[in-house]
């Protein structure tokens, strides 16, 4: 009996993972379903899985929605049977399923080839934005510790950043002018609506997504990962500060302030960087492909071993001017970053 349960669980994990990784977009209504799952009975299958991992829940939900739909596909009957069987198992067995599912998804994310495309970084290289973030600067003590637990604010040191940029020869492997169509296929609709549209660097009257990628080899890539930098529309800055970092942003007379517990305010001078991002919201905000790429980043793996509840692998830079947009930076595993680069800049 135990052997049969183990075999069926392994088969279900393989099917759910295969289905999830084959998705181009998440299923319709997934964000609403996520909120409902958070309020579901504590002993329900979806609540148990969500309690282990949001990414595992999203994979489970996508599979359940596919098997419940009217559209048939090869293997649907077995898939549906295994999913239905999962809901009849004990809480411990359902938790084991969720844990093994997320491990299976993450293990695929970490299977990086020895040659991750180092020569490919120069293919199609464009040279406009070179404001690469240096995580080395984050080792200095934070200037303040506001309302979000574990959230650090670090003032930008322009001179120090520029020295690091020069030493790493950042012109190599810098990619800009991301396709709006490809970006729309990569990110969830809500996030894509928040990404800034900017003029193409070479084509008159053409617009591109304000997304840059930095793939050059060196210390930062080896120890933290490749970087993706995303420009966020000015009106969306408070939303993502709260969503990702649990930080309240207030604007008065055109100047932004970060609210501090007890009624105090912090004014960026001229910019401030938010770190210690919530891990549980990443897949919902950035989508499957980017989330899996993030899981493969060296900084993410290091934080996982340290059992960190928040990550410094995602940061957001905010200026003190209401008219300025924000900039979100993510570290990505090299192999996945090169795959994303091919989609955005081909």
Per-residue pLDDT tens digits for 280-337: 899 899 998 899 999 999 999 999 889 888 999 999 999 999 999 999 999 999 889 9
Residues 271 and 151 in one domain: yes
Residues 87 and 231 occupy one common structural domain? no
Distances from the Cα of 159 to the Cαs of 165, 228, 272, in angstroms?
10, 22, 15
Question: Higher-confidence residue: 254 or 147?
Answer: 254
* Residue where a domain terminates, one of 79, 109, 139: 109
CA 29 – CA 55 distance, rounded (Å): 16
C-alpha separations of 31 from 26, 154, 272 in Å: 9, 32, 30
User: Are 94 and 179 in a shared domain?
Assistant: no
Q: Is-contact 340 186, C-beta < 8 A? A: yes
pLDDT tens-digit map of 119-152: 333 333 333 444 455 454 433 333 333 444 343 3
Please report the pLDDT score of residue 159 as a whole number. Answer: 37
Final residue of a structural domain among 54, 76, 109: 109
Residue 129 has a pLDDT of 42
On whether both 187 and 277 belong to a single domain, the answer is yes
* Of 232 and 72, the one with more pLDDT: 232
SS3 content of the chain, % helix, strand, coil (to 5): 50, 15, 35
pLDDT at residue 166 is higher than 50? no
Specify whether 147 is located in the same domain as 21: no
Question: What whole-number distance in Å separates Cα of residue 160 and Cα of residue 52?
Answer: 41
Burial 294-333 (b: 16+ CB within 10 A, else e): bbbbbbbbebeeeebebbbbbbbbbbbebebbbbbbbbbb
Are 99 and 138 found together in one domain?
no
pLDDT tens column, 104-125: 776 655 444 433 444 333 333 3
> In the predicted model, is pLDDT for residue 103 greater than 50?
yes
One domain, residues 104 and 176? no
- Examine the domain organization and report whether 70 and 125 are in the same domain: no
Give which of 282, 275, 129, 132 is closest to 209, Cα–Cα: 129
pLDDT at position 133 is: 54
Query: Which pLDDT tens digit goes with each residue over 172-228?
Result: 478 999 999 999 999 999 999 999 999 998 888 899 999 999 987 777 888 899 999
Q: What is the pLDDT of residue 255?
A: 93
Do 24 and 67 fall within a single domain? yes
Mean model confidence pLDDT for the chain: 79
Residues of the domain holding 275: 118-345
Share of the chain above pLDDT 70, in %: 78
pLDDT at 157 over 60: no
The total domain count for the chain is 2
Domain co-membership, 102 together with 127? no
Asked if 93 and 138 sit in the same domain, the reply is no
For residues 169 and 123, membership in a common domain is answered with yes
Residue where a domain terminates, one of 109, 139, 166? 109
Q: 101 Cβ partners below 8 Å, 6+ apart?
A: 13, 16, 17, 49, 53, 56, 59, 60
Output 8-11 pairs: Cβ under 8 A, ≥24 positions apart.
8/82, 8/85, 9/86, 9/93, 9/96, 9/97, 9/100, 10/100, 11/82
């Amino acid at each position: 009996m135990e052997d049969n349960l183990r075999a069926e669980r392994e088969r279900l994990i393989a099917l759910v993972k295969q289905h999830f990784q084959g998705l181009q977009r998440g299923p319709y209504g997934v964000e609403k379903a996520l909120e409902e799952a958070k309020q579901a009975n504590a002993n329900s299958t979806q609540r148990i899985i969500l309690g282990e991992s949001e990414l595992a829940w999203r994979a489970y939900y996508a599979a359940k929605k596919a098997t419940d739909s009217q559209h048939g596909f090869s293997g649907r009957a077995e898939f549906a049977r295994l999913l239905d069987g999962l809901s009849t198992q004990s809480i411990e067995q359902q938790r084991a399923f969720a844990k093994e599912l997320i491990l299976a998804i993450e293990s695929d994310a970490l299977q990086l080839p020895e040659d991750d495309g180092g020569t490919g970084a120069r293919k199609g290289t464009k040279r406009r934005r070179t404001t690469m973030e240096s995580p080395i600067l984050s080792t200095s003590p934070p200037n303040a510790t506001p309302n979000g637990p574990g959230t650090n604010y670090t003032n930008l040191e322009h001179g120090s950043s520029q020295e690091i940029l020069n030493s790493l020869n950042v012109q190599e492997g810098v990619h800009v002018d991301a396709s709006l169509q490809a970006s729309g296929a990569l990110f969830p609709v809500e996030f894509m609506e928040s990404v800034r549209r900017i003029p193409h660097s070479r084509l008159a009257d053409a617009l591109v997504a304000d997304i840059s990628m930095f793939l050059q080899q060196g210390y930062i890539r080896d120890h933290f990962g490749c970087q993706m930098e995303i420009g966020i529309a000015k009106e969306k800055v408070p939303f993502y500060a709260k969503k990702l970092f649990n930080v309240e942003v207030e604007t008065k007379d055109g100047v932004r302030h970060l609210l501090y517990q007890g009624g105090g305010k912090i004014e960026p001078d001229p910019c401030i960087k938010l770190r210690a991002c919530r891990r549980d919201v990443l897949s919902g905000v950035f989508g499957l492909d980017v989330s899996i790429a993030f899981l493969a980043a060296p900084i993410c793996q290091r934080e996982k071993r340290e059992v960190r509840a928040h990550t410094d692998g995602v940061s957001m830079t905010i200026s003190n001017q209401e008219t300025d947009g924000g900039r979100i930076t993510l570290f990505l595993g090299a192999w996945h970053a090169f795959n994303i680069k091919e989609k955005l800049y081909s």
